[in-house]
Chain A
Amino acid sequence: MCGIVGLLVKTPALRERLGELMVPMLIGMTERGPDSAGLAVFGQPLPEGERKISLYSGLTEDGADFNWLGLGHELKAHLGVSTEVEAKGNHAILSFSLSPEVVKRWIKEHYPKLHILSTGRSIDLYKDIGTPAEVAARYGFAGLKGSHLVGHTRMATESAVTPDRAHPFTAGEDFCLVHNGSLSNPNGIRRMLEPRGISFETDNDTEAACRFLEWRLREGDDLEVALQKGFEELDGFYTFLMGTPDKLALIRDPFACKPAVVAETDDYVAIASEFRSLAHLPGVKHAHVFEPAPEEMYVWNA
């Protein structure tokens, strides 16, 4: 199964309440996805030349006791870069003015069990195993601010229940994807991408879709063209919800095998697998509620 949620606020004042509005959406999808949860939130981008990475230490020996400040000191000592560290338990966001590839290469070399969740100027990413309510409480999702986010609750079918196989998946910078469904040709996609130098971190089918679409974007396709190529290349069942710094995008497979419903008001666009995740939103009783059609692209601008 799995549940997906997405929320984009149009009214700037609501950016302060983005997390608070989203948490009941995520918890509403617990029955569809009780084993893991995660979300990616997009906010005001860092200045050009700065980057931030979200990191997960749950797979290291120190777990939630990981010495994040120590990591900051080491990066300063070895790479001469000052980092701003925003840590909470097994999760931290590191911001710095240096090529993220240099920082990530150093981290992979010295802390191979530290999982790099996301990279970019706008994106922060959280994911872990546990019920949506547990994961939301663990990372303080209710306090998150930003213009839009995509979230996911997982009921694993294609690969093991581990934090790195939870959604959202990311590739490149400031791009993420969540998936409800199962792909039938993820290995074919991998075999096409790997010779092009694109490496995979898990055996998860969603990662193949995520890396395929990000590859198309990096090759110069705009989002709509990339999604059209996705329709042509990705086979299986899917509702995909994607986030970029200024857009939320949704597509469903031609058979609409996996559900999705949208509620739109003057204040927000909210997307979920089912209406029960939208029922609490302010003004939803008067929202324009509709079911997105199969094989159509829905793109909303932040």
Chain B
Amino acid sequence: MERLTFDLATTSLRELNTFLHTDAKEGKVEAVTVVNPDGAHNIAVGLDCPVSVEVVGHAGYYAGGMNQSATITITGSAGTGVGENMMSGKVHVKGFASNGAGASAHGGLLVIEGDAGLRCGISLKGGNIVVGGSVGSFSAFMAQAGTMVICGDAGDALGDSLYEAVLYVKGSVKSLGADAQYEPMTDADIATVAGMLDRAGLDHDPKAFKRIASQRSLYHWNADANQEY
């Protein structure tokens, strides 16, 4: 069997996820289509095999969360925490995504073609995120590793308390967070952005992006800072 369709109007979410965790993992199917997701939570969470899942419509909270190896496409919008704690594989949202998209993702690629809400990529731990639109405030807060490419604008406090993650923004940034700073774009940066845009299927000039990374001034305790950052 190459492709199987689950209709969440008539099939339970548990049945879908159980199938994806067992039969799909055993290689019984290559691709799964999910229709009438209707905002259900936890669609295709915790997958651990290279299956391809297409969700036709709007997904609820945590879609594709903890993903490992699978390729998950959502044709509509995604709720809070899409691709949260992803390990590998790809989650691709064609519409917009709500708050906390890609939070603490360790690996893999999260693509959001529309806007992302607040706290996108918060505590990113090695995953890659490409946002075709804009991101809300506090995005990449405490992001430790990985890369974010933002083709639109960013809200307040972008990259607050950044560790070693690197952010690239094409549009305007309302404000940078504590310890985040603009840095010059090198050829390697331009190649990184070009590669991520290519994998995301988005067409932008990689030279038009600005690089934001950590000043690393918060890495060591400064007793003289008097809590002023």
Chain A interface (Cβ within 8 Å of chain B)? Answer: 254-256, 259, 261, 274-280, 285, 289-291, 293-294
Q: State whether the Cβ of B98 lies closer than 8 Å to any Cβ in chain A.
A: yes
Q: State whether the Cβ of B67 lies closer than 8 Å to any Cβ in chain A.
A: no
Which of B79, B115, B137, B138 meets A259, CB within 8 Å? Answer: B79
How many whole Å from B59's CB to the nearest CB in chain A?
A: 8
The answer to whether A291 touches B39 (Cβ under 8 A) is: no
List 9 tightest A-B contacts by C-beta distance, closest first. Answer: A275-B39, A276-B39, A279-B38, A275-B58, A256-B118, A274-B39, A279-B39, A276-B38, A291-B98
A-B contact count (CB 8 A): 50
A181-B45 Cα distance, complex, nearest whole Å: 27
Which of B39, B40, B96, B137 meets A278, CB within 8 Å? Answer: B39
The answer to whether B38 touches A294 (Cβ under 8 A) is: no
**Residue of B57, B58, B115, B136 contacting most chain A CB atoms (<10 Å):** B58
Chain A residue with the shortest CB-CB distance to B8: A279
Determine the chain A residues whose CB is within 8 A of the CB of B77 once the complex forms. Answer: 261, 275, 289, 291
Q: Provide the main secondary structure of the chain A interface.
A: loop
The answer to whether B58 touches A291 (Cβ under 8 A) is: no
Starting from the known contacts A276-B60, A291-B98, 16 additional A-B residue pairs (CB-CB under 8 Å) come to A254-B137, A259-B79, A259-B99, A274-B61, A274-B79, A275-B77, A275-B79, A276-B39, A278-B39, A279-B58, A285-B57, A289-B76, A290-B96, A291-B96, A291-B115, A293-B136
The answer to whether A259 touches B98 (Cβ under 8 A) is: yes
A254-B61 Cα distance, complex, nearest whole Å: 21
Q: Count the B residues whose beta carbon is within 8 Å of the partner chain — how many?
A: 22
Determine the chain B residues whose CB is within 8 A of the CB of A275 once the complex forms. Answer: 38-39, 58, 60, 77, 79
A and B contact pairs by CB, cutoff 8 A, 18 listed:
A255-B138, A256-B136, A261-B77, A261-B98, A274-B39, A274-B60, A275-B39, A275-B58, A275-B60, A276-B60, A279-B38, A289-B76, A289-B95, A290-B96, A291-B98, A291-B115, A293-B136, A294-B118
The answer to whether A276 touches B40 (Cβ under 8 A) is: yes
How many whole Å from A180's CB to the nearest CB in chain B?
A: 13
A278-B117 Cα distance, complex, nearest whole Å: 19
How many whole Å from B107's CB to the nearest CB in chain A?
A: 27
A166-B118 Cα distance, complex, nearest whole Å: 29
How many whole Å from A204's CB to the nearest CB in chain B?
A: 26
Determine the chain B residues whose CB is within 8 A of the CB of A277 once the complex forms. Answer: 39
